Structure 1
Amino acid sequence: MPWILLLLCSLLSFQTQAVTVPAAAVAASSTQTGDASPAEPDLEEKKKAYSALADVLDNDKSRTELIDQLRKVAATPPPEPVPAIKPPEELSEEKTVLENVTDVSRHYGGVLAERFAQLHRNITGSPYKAFNQQTFFKALTHFTMLAASVFAFFWLIRLCMTTLWQRMGKWGRKKNRDRSSWFHLPLMIITAFIIDLLLLALTLFVGQIFSDMMNAGSRTIARQQGLFLNAFALIEFFKAVLRLIFCPRFPDLRPFPVSDQSAKYWSIRLSGLSSLIGYGILVAVPIISNQVNIQTGALTNVAIMLIITLWALYLIFHNKRNIQQSLIRLADRSMAFFSLFIRAFALIWHWLASAYFVVLFFFSLFDPGNSLKWMMGASVHSLAIIGIAAFISGMLSRWIAKTITLSPQVQRSYPELQKRLNSWISASLKMARILTVCVAVMLLLNAWSLFDMWAWLTNGAGEKTVDILIRIVLILFFSAVGWTLLASLIENRLASDIHGRPMPSARTRTLLTLFRNALAVVISTITIMILLSEIGVNIAPLLAGAGALGLAVSFGSQTLVKDIITGVFIQFENGMNTGDLVTIGPITGTVERMSIRSVGVRQDTGAYHIIPWSSITTFANFVRGIGSFVANYDVDRQEDVEKANRILKEAVAELMERQDIRMLVIGEPSFAGIVGLTNQAFTVRVSFTTQPLKQWTVRFALDGMVKKHFDAAGIRPPVQTVQVMQPGPDAAQALQASEAATGALPPANPTV
């Protein structure tokens, strides 16, 4: 705020007397400041203003008068603002995509050029510091003693824990092979990692004690040793993560299926890279810059980062094919959900790794200390995010493969409830898995400062998005619960229970099935409309369009409406149901399917007919209540009537003794005696009342039994007779006259 001080000082003279500030001047100055801001004073003007203000404040009288003037100005009411007439602002032309890309390129190119210019000034223009050989070697001796002590202590305590780590790995692998519990091996791996971190913390504590003993009372040496301890903590933590992943010395604690040779290869090289980066950038460069000069430190930083980058790029592209094949094999053994991500990563992993080290190279050139800490922190955060997300997704995938099993009583009462619950739970877990991946991606972008997730969540867009997602989840949840409850109640009515409740009638089953289908359509439509409204879609035009479309369809589909109404009334009248034997017009068959528009009938020939409800005027149903048939048997006219009736009753009596036939017959058979008489035969009749659709079974059995008894009793069926008339004398004379009139007939076998 230097220009404010300059403005205050301009109100005062450089003498010790105060100058009165008129109100008009204040108003004028306030009016002018609304139009244009004062110019930024230069350095000399600022110095003069500071000196004048110091002189005023140094004198008691002038200071008091200045305070009074300021309070008077503060108490003066501001003038009424005068509206200024401004010309309309010209609309700025929208830039094309190419122009936007050019602007962004220029901006970041300028920033990069400025950073390189700053690096050049650090190398060439920094003040030169004389090299003190005695101080340098003294600091180097104490630094080396501390480093050797810390490394020796860390190596010794890790060596003491070797046996424990071996036993932990063997015990976890044994439990995993026995499949007694799946979490023993992951628990041992995590415990080993925690022990490794505790040993690192103990080493840092001991190293701090060593530093207090070996700094020779020099702040410079203590600072250098502090740099080493900080770098040691950062690098060894990263190495602990590498040991967690590869674990070259203890294969039983290795979480991934990596061979011993590959584990040692990558562990050694990545540890070497991390040591060179950490101790070179965080320790060597600051010490050289302090003990030798800044130019040498900057050149050392450039050389170290160049070596690291080239070595890393060589390792990446030298092992590109092997790692890609290993990732593809891992994808083949993984779940389908993870296989997709692993295969995608196998195609681009080398580019991501190359970009990582190139970015680290440039960042380390411009800001060696902070850039490495930021990159290491972002890397650790990324590994933690990926690990946690993979663990959560793996757990969700395992739960997706499992199913809920309800008790037999519940399954009997609600046949589809178990299947429906499993489908809803599976869909919910899949959505949770997708949400986990989305959150992990956002956290990864946030870790690399490419996206500010927390700011996005706290501003309008993020809050609105989260609110919409929560609303959508609640709508889907309540829709699923409502559909499950209503559908389960309907299915309960469609099934018998354990207490012996009979199965519902075919009419009830048909109506409940139609109602369930209609309920599904209604709930789905309402849910979709509410979801569209929640995501910001205006559903008023959709509803209006649906109404207009419904009106147009109603005029064009009168037959469809007639089909629906006729079908509903036929069902309410219990006209037919699935499985009934019916005759509709010329078609007789079994009802196989009933929809809201038509009925499907299968004939005994196998032909399937779809008959619209509106085309049915009359129909016959053979399964309503009872079945019956009348059996007529013709007997030769010469047989004894009493005998024929008696043999027929005997045949019926023997038939009724059969248990499989008797249970199909309702009541007793009815004998009518002689019901017909001709010149050749008389007819005896017996009638039966049976269960629905069982009349043919009883009739066929009766026919066989009657034939058996009639044959045994010698009762003959009627015989068809033909009477042949012999011609008389008149007929012979007439025949001769006709032959004479027409000529003689040719011989039967003419001869030549």
Structure 2
Amino acid sequence: MLGINVMWRDLRQGMLCLLLLCLIPAAQAVSPPAAVASQQAQKPADDAATHEPTVEEKKAAWLALATILENDESRQALIKQLRDAAASPAATDEPVLTPPNAAKKKEEKTVLESVTDITRQYGGQFAGSLTHLYHNIISAPHNAFNKATFFNALSHFSMLAVALFTFYWTIRTIAIPLYQRMGRWGRKKSNQPCSFLRLPLAIIGAFVIDLLLLALALFVGQMLSNNLNADNRTIAQQQGLFLNAFALVEFFKAVLRLIFCPRFPDLRPFAINDTRAHYWNTRLGWLSGVIGYGLMVVVPIVSNRVNEQTGALVNVVIMGLMTGWALWLIFHNRRIIQRELNALAERSLSFFALFIRAFAFVWHWVASAYFIVLFFFSIFDPGNSLKFMMSATLNSLIIIGLGAEVSGILTRWINKTITLSPELRRNYPELQNRVNGWIWFMLKAARILTVFAVLLLLLNAWHLFDLWYWLTAGAGERLVDVLIRVFMILLFSVVGWTLLASLIESRLSSDIHGRPMPSARTRTLLTLFRNALAVVISTITIMILLSEIGVNIAPLLAGAGALGLAVSFGSQTLVKDIITGIFIQFENGMNTGDLVTIGPLTGTVERMSIRSVGVRQDTGAYHIIPWSSITTFANFVRGIGSFVANYDVDRSENSDSANAALRSAVDELMAREDIRDFIIGEPNFAGLVGLTERAFTVRVSITTQPLKQWTVRFALDELVKKHFDAAGIKAPRQTVQVVPPGGENNDAAASLPAPE
């Protein structure tokens, strides 16, 4: 028999080493090169036997073994090989284990099959727990009841409980004046801006004092337990159970006092009246006390001192009664709490109001599910269920509180704006609005991420989701990496666009701050450049973001190229418009506000885009003219304006008198203050420039500022008429030639003045 044991021990060691060495290449999912394999095959047997696997080899072997055990087929194959190896005769050669094909991928399952597998898994666990509970109740052994031992333990237990509760009640009573003073201090001037932290500090300070008193009571309770256990190990264990339950239950009651604070309204963080606060604090306190002491003290003692059947029955009775009472409290106060939550939503910020109203609609179902889950946990795992539920509840409250605080801070920051210095606002007019817009967007995104993080932390607190594994080894690590890269890309794009757009808008700003007005050409070019820059930055950013989140942008780029080629053939006129418009702008041909003549149209330029120009005629008609249709145009505001005034005089008048009257009219025009500033230089008199059989023409040329030639011309015409009338200079009269019938004798024709 000893030889068989030694042989089996050697066989197990050999199989373990062989399994570790065989699993390493299987975990790598690739075969080693032939040269390396042949070299390993040529090693001496002694070296292979004495080879100690490295840490990396061990880790790889463990990973491969876990992969094999995870797969049903490979696990069954390994078990079969091990059984065959154990059943082999001693005289045969050492058995060789062939690692199963663990790298074989599982067959893809549909969503319905995955849901069915999960349901079967948890259903099987639930059925197994019920079966285990049934066997505990039916077939557990029965312990003999010792009356003397029971009453001895009960007396020592009772003395500890009475002494501990008396001491804890005494020190909390002594601390009442301190709580009252802290409440008055917190409420005093709490509405003033500089004192808004007084009340939160007072509430947190009261809670810390409550925990310190609990710690002192536990310390005293431990000392009392050391002196009141009669040197009996069983009594000491029972008293230890009581102290653990006391710590857990009283800590939960301290949290309830933090929330409701029934005896000190000044330290109450929520707007709850005294009656409701006392109602819920009392009932939740009794509920937690009965459940805590029942599961953590009564049930273990009954199970150990009587039998497990009785302990399980006591557990079911206690939790059944408490669960029923909790459900009755929930549905009895369902509408009252719903109204109070809706009233709280009316007083809250709009962001929190949405969640509060949603919680008010389903709160009773959430609370019912909480106590039902606690009921089943306490049945299947009485020793750890309450600790888990209390820990998960406390973590949930902390997570929700911190999340609400962070979200509240972000919400208050969202409603605020940043005010830049007057100098920055003067140099960069749109910078403040743009910065506030981006900050508003980032705060909104941060608030959404906060809500998402709170949900993940809540799932992790209830062990429904392994957050830390997801962040370090699962898809969460890749998601966080992608989010960081996306944030950095957006940050650089936003900063670059903000700086460049601010610089452009600084050049486009008007002269209301004492800076010179940019020319119309500069405004047009900078506006076009800003629009083009926005399109380029947006396109590049979108492409990079799509690439970062895993979208293959190569087909997009190829498709965009093909689409651009197709569009270029179908939009030649559009391309021609754009190119012509760019060159006209660079040549400073026209700008917004110029008076131009384009073909038969004369009007003012109101709008210029990259494709067309908009012209408004003096009749009010608005024309959109594509750049490509403009071959020639006239601009009346380039440099100067001028006009040539010709005046016809009757041939019978004296030319010198006519020229003198014209000069007198021009001199009077030059003397007018409202006209003189429009005239550049001196008028140019050409004298007599035309002669006909009925009249002669005198001329004067005047150079003016752009678009002022018509104003000067109209004023001159008025003055010329005035001076010609005063000098008696007449305009030419139209004559009619009368031809006698027949028309042969031209000498008989007579010229008569036309009738007036």
Q: Same fold (TM over 0.5)?
A: yes
Residue 561 of structure 2 is matched in structure 1 by 547
Cα contact 1:670–1:686 (8 A) shared by 2: yes
Change (3 A) 1:211 1:560: same
Name the CA distance, whole Å, in 1 between partners of 2:147 and 2:473.
58
Aligned residue runs from structure 1 range 584-603, under 5 A: 584-603=598-617
Residue 524 of structure 1 is matched in structure 2 by 538
Name the CA distance, whole Å, in 2 between partners of 1:189 and 1:479.
45
Which of 439, 452, 466 does residue 452 from structure 1 map onto? 466
What is the CA distance between 1:659 and its match in structure 2? 4.7
Deviations 1:165-210 (A, max 9, x none): 3343344334332233543333332222222222222222222233
What is the CA distance between 1:100 and its match in structure 2? 4.2
RMSD: 4.0
Cα contact 1:396–1:433 (8 A) shared by 2: yes
Which of 352, 358, 376 does residue 338 from structure 1 map onto? 352
Deviations 1:2-43 (A, max 9, x none): xx968526989xxxxxxxxxx9xx99xxxx99982126999x
Residue 347 of structure 1 is matched in structure 2 by 361
Residue 48 of structure 1 is matched in structure 2 by none
* Structure 1 position 467 matched with structure 2 position 481: yes
Aligned residue runs from structure 1 range 671-750, under 5 A: 671-672=685-686, 686-700=700-714, 713=726, 718=731
> 2:641 is matched by which residue type in structure 1?
G
> 1:349 is matched by which residue type in structure 2?
W
Bigger mean CA offset, 594-603 vs 300-309: 594-603
Bigger mean CA offset, 424-433 vs 130-139: 130-139
Bigger mean CA offset, 149-158 vs 302-311: 149-158
Which of 181, 186, 200 does residue 172 from structure 1 map onto? 186
> 1:595 is matched by which residue type in structure 2?
S
> 2:8 is matched by which residue type in structure 1?
L
Change (3 A) 1:708 1:94: same
> 1:320 is matched by which residue type in structure 2?
R
* Structure 1 position 481 matched with structure 2 position 495: yes
Residue 115 of structure 1 is matched in structure 2 by 129
Deviations 1:653-705 (A, max 9, x none): 56555555444333344455566678988766554433323334444555666
**Which secondary structure state, in structure 2, belongs to the residue aligned with residue 37 of structure 1?**
helix
Which of 583, 586, 597 does residue 569 from structure 1 map onto? 583
What is the CA distance between 1:467 and its match in structure 2? 1.6
**Which secondary structure state, in structure 1, belongs to the residue aligned with residue 191 of structure 2?**
helix
Cα contact 1:175–1:185 (8 A) shared by 2: no
**Structure 1: runs of 5+ lacking an equivalent:** 13-22, 43-68, 728-752
Name the CA distance, whole Å, in 1 between partners of 2:119 and 2:627.
72
**Which secondary structure state, in structure 2, belongs to the residue aligned with residue 234 of structure 1?**
helix
Residue 18 of structure 2 is matched in structure 1 by none
> 1:485 is matched by which residue type in structure 2?
L
Aligned residue runs from structure 1 range 481-500, under 5 A: 481-495=495-509
> 1:254 is matched by which residue type in structure 2?
R
Larger Cα-atom Rg: 1
Aligned residue runs from structure 1 range 59-458, under 5 A: 97-458=111-472
Bigger mean CA offset, 528-537 vs 163-172: 163-172
Q: TM-score, normalised by structure 1?
A: 0.80
Residue 617 of structure 1 is matched in structure 2 by 631
Residue 745 of structure 2 is matched in structure 1 by none
Name the CA distance, whole Å, in 2 between partners of 1:230 and 1:83.
52
Cα contact 1:680–1:718 (8 A) shared by 2: no
What is the CA distance between 1:237 and its match in structure 2? 1.8
Residue 505 of structure 1 is matched in structure 2 by 519
What is the CA distance between 1:305 and its match in structure 2? 0.5
> 2:138 is matched by which residue type in structure 1?
T
Change (3 A) 1:695 1:267: farther
Name the CA distance, whole Å, in 1 between partners of 2:102 and 2:159.
75
**Which secondary structure state, in structure 2, belongs to the residue aligned with residue 38 of structure 1?**
helix
Name the CA distance, whole Å, in 2 between partners of 1:404 and 1:140.
69
**Which secondary structure state, in structure 2, belongs to the residue aligned with residue 135 of structure 1?**
helix
> 2:241 is matched by which residue type in structure 1?
L
What is the CA distance between 1:104 and its match in structure 2? 3.3
**Which secondary structure state, in structure 1, belongs to the residue aligned with residue 189 of structure 2?**
helix
Name the CA distance, whole Å, in 2 between partners of 1:91 and 1:380.
42
Name the CA distance, whole Å, in 1 between partners of 2:488 and 2:7.
60
> 1:104 is matched by which residue type in structure 2?
I
Q: TM-score, normalised by structure 2?
A: 0.79
Residue 8 of structure 1 is matched in structure 2 by 8
Cα contact 1:246–1:267 (8 A) shared by 2: yes
Change (3 A) 1:178 1:584: same
> 1:256 is matched by which residue type in structure 2?
F
**Which secondary structure state, in structure 1, belongs to the residue aligned with residue 604 of structure 2?**
strand
Cα contact 2:137–2:313 (8 A) shared by 1: yes
> 1:8 is matched by which residue type in structure 2?
W
> 1:405 is matched by which residue type in structure 2?
T
What is the CA distance between 1:351 and its match in structure 2? 1.8
Cα contact 2:653–2:730 (8 A) shared by 1: no
Cα contact 1:409–1:498 (8 A) shared by 2: no
Cα contact 1:635–1:715 (8 A) shared by 2: no
Cα contact 1:582–1:588 (8 A) shared by 2: yes
Deviations 1:416-470 (A, max 9, x none): 2222222222222222222222222111111111111111122153322222221
Residue 37 of structure 2 is matched in structure 1 by none
Cα contact 1:475–1:531 (8 A) shared by 2: yes
Cα contact 2:374–2:386 (8 A) shared by 1: yes
Cα contact 2:594–2:636 (8 A) shared by 1: yes
Cα contact 1:564–1:596 (8 A) shared by 2: yes
Cα contact 2:658–2:729 (8 A) shared by 1: no
Change (3 A) 1:177 1:460: closer
Deviations 1:679-734 (A, max 9, x none): 988766554433323334444555666677778x5868759799999x9xxxxxxx
Change (3 A) 1:411 1:83: same
Name the CA distance, whole Å, in 2 between partners of 1:311 and 1:180.
46
Task: Report sequence identity in percent.
Answer: 69
Tell me the matched-pair count. 673
